[in-house]
Amino acid sequence: MRALTWQGRRKVSVETVPDPVIEEPTDAIVKITSTAICGSDLHLYELFGPFLDTGDILGHEPMGVVVEVGADVTNLAVGDRVVVPFNIACGHCFMCRRGLQSQCETTQVREYGSGAALFGYTKLYGQVPGGQAEFLRVPHADYNSIRVGDDLPDQRYLFLSDILPTAWQGVQYASVPDGGTLAVIGLGPVGQFAARVGVHHGFRVLAVDPVPERREMAERHGVDTYDLTDDVVAELRDLTDGRGVDGVVDAVGLEAHGSPGARFAQQAVGLLPDPLAQKLMETAGIDRLAALYAGIDLVRRGGTVSLSGVYAGEADILPMKTMFDKQISLRMGQCNVKSWTDQLLPLVEDPADPFGVMDLVTHEAALEDAPGLYETFQKKEDGCIKVVLKP
């Protein structure tokens, strides 16, 4: 089969690789019909090379049709159309039973002290071959699949794999009261959906992003948007009686843009031999924390900052005095996809399309075009907000 593979820092290529096979009786094989490039895939493209091997298959936002099932698979049949959640969970362990599928104790990557295994996402998360490929092996397939209907286009369902439940969880974690105000920092794909989820809940949504095309897209869905300026926090605070917003979703994470220190640290990681680079990532502060700091400044006293963007440093400095004084709650973590599926599935099937899932993709292309689109997405060129690949 053809698959998108990691070849080095800022280098990916589509290669012919062996087809996946049933390895455990609980596996299924899915022929991929749509698969997306996620913003967190760009972290693999840029930063996480020390935890990748040449030839690793990337991608964790796939959907398709079941073509083979293992002997112990009982809930799926050949021909079923499914979305595949990005985290791999068993559905029955202590954590899964509590709705914490991202911490599944059956697939936890204990070697690295990480949570549940993920598709296509480094040794830190199990080094499981990903979904930017023609076929995908799905472990624990009965639980790690979302069966969907046959009538609606892939784009209606695809984002149930990651970014829509990630945004939904981010807003839930922000704990905004009825009729309250939510700020969203960053209007990439997760930020777009977080802002729309906020509007769906009846919140006043104020969103910040430096890219005009992203602001324009959010405005089409009832979001008030603001450029990333030096005084934007003060501007938004003034809009909330000087008090600050009830909750913040940080949908930016570890991007190094605008932070020379973080950029230097991330570049240093890319230049070191893998064992040294791994150690640096495990012990250093390599994140740009401007978005998180802005969220802490912007949220009102007693409010909540919710982190949906991925952070990777172990020695990042937080303003603990301010956080304590303002009595801020901080929530974060990988999305527990299956916890939100039952709530989200009817909404993506709603003819009214309340989250605008049909108004997110800016680039749709063949799998073979993926390498160039990784670069386009990373550089935010050509109005690129979301890429969907068709293997």
Rg of the chain on CA atoms, in Å: 20
pLDDT at 225 over 90: yes
3-state secondary structure at position 321: helix
Nearest to 128 by CA among 310, 43, 269, 3: 3
Beta-carbon contacts of residue 184 (< 8 Å; ≥ 6 apart): 191, 194, 195, 198, 205, 206, 207, 208, 223, 248, 249, 251
Nearest to 12 by CA among 39, 52, 63, 51: 52
Q: In the structure, what pLDDT confidence band is assigned to residue 218 with cuts at 50, 70 and 90?
A: very high
Nearest to 215 by CA among 351, 380, 370: 380
- What are 295's two structure tokens? 């969220």
Query: Can you tell me the mean pLDDT for 28-55?
Result: 89
- Strands 224-226 and 181-185, bridge-based pairing: unpaired
pLDDT tens digit string along 54-79?
A: 999 999 999 999 999 999 999 999 99
Nearest to 88 by CA among 65, 108, 73: 108
pLDDT at 90 over 90: yes
Q: Is 381 exposed, middle or buried (0-12, 13-18, 19+ CB in 10 A)?
A: exposed
* Percentage, residues of the chain above pLDDT 90: 81
pLDDT at 279 over 90: no
Taking each helix axis from N to C end, the angle separating 189-200 and 163-174, rounded to the nearest 10 degrees, works out to 50
- Strands 11-16 and 2-8, bridge-based pairing: antiparallel
pLDDT of residue 271: 45
Nearest to 133 by CA among 44, 27, 2: 2
Nearest to 60 by CA among 153, 163, 154, 147: 163
Measured CA distances, 64 to 34, 78, 94 (Å): 7, 11, 30
Beta-carbon contacts of residue 123 (< 8 Å; ≥ 6 apart): 51, 52, 53, 109, 111, 112
pLDDT of residue 288: 66
pLDDT of residue 259: 44
Mean pLDDT of the chain: 91
How many other C-beta atoms lie within 10 A of the C-beta of residue 60? 26
Q: In the structure, what pLDDT confidence band is assigned to residue 317 with cuts at 50, 70 and 90?
A: confident
pLDDT of residue 291: 85
More confident residue, 39 or 187: 187
pTM equals 0.92
Query: Can you tell me the mean pLDDT for 289-314?
Result: 88
pLDDT at 390 over 70: yes
Query: Can you tell me the mean pLDDT for 356-378?
Result: 96
Q: Determine the Cα–Cα distance for residues 251 and 211; give it in Å rounded to an integer.
A: 14
More confident residue, 126 or 281: 126
Taking each helix axis from N to C end, the angle separating 212-219 and 189-200, rounded to the nearest 10 degrees, works out to 20
Between CA 6 and CA 367, with CA 48 as vertex, the angle to 5 degrees is: 30
Nearest to 298 by CA among 184, 385, 194: 184
Q: In the structure, what pLDDT confidence band is assigned to residue 269 with cuts at 50, 70 and 90?
A: very low
pLDDT of residue 278: 53
How many other C-beta atoms lie within 10 A of the C-beta of residue 202? 11
Between CA 280 and CA 286, with CA 282 as vertex, the angle to 5 degrees is: 65
pLDDT tens digit string along 164-177?
A: 999 999 999 999 99
pLDDT of residue 49: 72
pLDDT of residue 386: 97
pLDDT of residue 243: 96
Query: Can you tell me the mean pLDDT for 208-229?
Result: 96
Query: Can you tell me the mean pLDDT for 374-380?
Result: 91
* Percentage, residues of the chain above pLDDT 70: 90
pLDDT of residue 272: 45
More confident residue, 258 or 296: 296
Q: In the structure, what pLDDT confidence band is assigned to residue 313 with cuts at 50, 70 and 90?
A: low
**Torsion sign (Cα): 290, 195, 237, 299:** negative
